[in-house]
Amino acid sequence: MEVFKGKAIFSGIAIGPVSFYAKDQMQVKRQRIEDADAEINRYEAAKATAMEQLGELYEKAVKEVGESGAQIFEVHQMMLEDDDYNESVYSIIKTQMVNAEYAVATTGDNFSEMFAAMEDEYFRARAADMKDISERILSVLTGGGQAKISDEPSIIVADDLAPSETVQFDKSKLLGFVTRHGSSNSHTAILARTMNIPALIQIDIQESWNGKMAIIDGFTGDFYIDPTDAVMEVYQAKKTEQEERRKLLATQKGKPTVTKSGKAVKLFANIGSVSDLASVLENDAGGIGLFRSEFLYLQSDTYPTEEEQFKAYKMVAETMAGKKVIIRTLDIGADKQVDYFNLDKEENPAMGLRALRICLTRPEIFKTQLRALLRASAYGNIAIMYPMVTSVEEVHRIKEIVAEVKAELDAASIKYADVEQGVMIETPAAVIISDLLAKEVDFFSIGTNDLTQYTLAIDRQNPNLDEFYNEKHEAVLRMIEMVVDNAHKEGIWAGICGELGANMSLTERFMAMGVDELSVSPTFILPIRQIIRDYDGPTK
């Protein structure tokens, strides 16, 4: 037996034979050509076929993993239409008088290297997508590049997997996957999570494993090759336990989230876009506690219009059918940069012009979003929440702007509801003055990701600080309790929408503190509901 350590990107146990997945390496030769236009036409034809293939993959993926998992194929279509990418291919063909295959391979390598060198982890993960789209065109041009996997249910072991490959595998045959490359932010990792497949990355894979029995432990990151009988027995038992647990969790669907002493807790979901809604419904969330609206801005090349935003918010409100939908106003800046905002490069972006600070300094952007939100509020139970608040004065300024927007809507006889408005508590300043803020708003939602960063003075983006980062730091936990107490004194509710809210080792402590709402990734809803329903300790 051999054991290898990797990084788990989705938990769970998989047991089965290894199917080694090796792509036929497409040999791309550099060949001189006479007619550049004819070569460009070949490229355009191959691109058109690749676009069609991506359209078909999108349809297939929507059926298998839902819209959010399938979105990557739309992104690939967009990447294929990218002007810079296409200009590079044309220019290599024309200036070097070479074949389309060579121009595509070179462009793919250059662009992928460029993305790999970027600081932002999200963009680094796009390097794999760049390779994927280039390989797709190459396989159309050369008629090759298709790889085979075993017909038996197996654990796929590969150097790397492109999203298009992950989704093409027959799900009933895919027990799990293990790769040498890849990052936890890559779309392949996101797909693995959406498809509920245990997966490990960063393992030094070997072709000699093909056909051997293996175990993925998606909790510890361990990968066993040729496990002993004793290890096999332990993991068979764990797997059965996991399946039992999944069945048990399904029994939590439709049940109210209430502690044994009768305190009803709002158990809501965090989402980034409308495509996450399927998972919200599937996991029976009581509402949406954090819609990170900035993703509408991040996905766009220019400011999303009022109409575009209105449609997105209305769709979420309608889909949630009367359940609360808390939409956070844009939190651009810091780690979420958008070119068209033309923000100055800052020494210290986490403490820079971000979130509410942008909204207050560029009220025209803020007002467009507020109009869209208020208009959509006529179609469901929308609440608005403001990020990165540090003072009561800021809340007053928000109120003035909201009043202006409402007056404009009134003048135009446009309907809107009396929306609840809350603030995120994600700065130590907001915690300390939460008694004052509580007099101004309808609810608090504690953003523990930023609150921990600002309290412990640890940049949440810096992986070198992991050893100093204690997400369960007593300072943060005491702050949460203080915020909840101050909220209750003014008769408003307080919840947690940062990642800490999903830390199940703290759920009981949150109940004891009197936390009224937890907003977590959809897959955490049912396990947390179970803990809350079993909780028989005190609540405030």
The catalytic residue positions are 187, 497
528 Cβ neighbours under 8 A, 6+ residues apart: 267, 502, 504, 507, 518, 520
Residue nearest to Mg ion (CB): 450
Report d(CA 142, CA 407) in Å as an integer.
62
Asked whether position 86 contacts ligand PEP by CB under 6 A, the answer is: no
Q: Nearer Cβ to Mg ion, position 194 or 270?
A: 270
Nearest residue (CB) to ligand PEP, 191 versus 497: 497
Interaction of residue 269 with ligand PEP, rule CB under 6 A: no
- Residue from 448, 503, 507, 523 binding ligand PEP (CB under 6 A): 448
- Nearest 5°: CA angle at 210, between 205 and 215? 70
Among 331, 394, 420, 440, binds ligand PEP (CB under 6 A): 331
H-helix or E-strand spanning residue 18? strand 13-21
497 makes contact with ligand PEP (CB under 6 A): yes
Quick check: 294 binds Mg ion (CB under 5 A)? no
- Token pair, residue 484, equals 């909840």
Q: Name residue 379's amino acid.
A: Y
Total site size for Mg ion, rule CB under 5 A: 3
Does residue 479 belong to the site contacting ligand PEP (CB under 6 A)? Answer: no
Interacting residue with ligand PEP among 498, 514, 522, 527 (CB under 6 A): 498
Q: Is position 426 an interface residue for ligand PEP (rule: CB under 6 A)?
A: yes
Q: Does 422 bind Mg ion (CB under 5 A)?
A: no
The residue (of 163 and 498) whose beta carbon lies closer to ligand PEP is: 498
Buried b (16+ CB within 10 A) or exposed e, 364-398: ebbbbbbbbbbbbbebbbbbbbbbbbbeeebbebb
Q: Which of 294, 450, 516, 517 binds Mg ion (CB under 5 A)?
A: 450
The site partner of 266 among Mg ion, ligand PEP, none (C-beta below 5 to 8 Å per kind) is none
In the list Mg ion, ligand PEP, none, the entry touching 39 (Cβ below 5 to 8 angstroms by class) is none
Dist CA 460 CA 472 (whole Å): 14
| Candidate segments 103-111, 258-266, 358-366, 444-452, binder of ligand PEP by CB under 6 A | 444-452
Structure tokens at 81: 């239409």
Q: Which two tokens stand for residue 186?
A: 């890559």
Which one of the spans 169-177, 260-268, 422-430, 478-486 is the region binding Mg ion (CB under 5 A)?
A: 422-430
DSSP label at residue 286? S
Residue 429-448 contact track with Mg ion, rule CB under 5 A, x = bound: ------------------x-
491: left (phi over 0), alpha (psi -120 to 50) or beta: left
Number of residues written out for the chain = 540
380 contacts Mg ion (rule: CB under 5 A): no
Residues 6+ apart with CB under 8 A from 166: 177, 188, 191, 192, 195
> Site residues (CB under 5 A) for Mg ion?
426, 447, 450
> Site residues (CB under 6 A) for ligand PEP?
290, 292, 331, 426, 447-450, 497-498
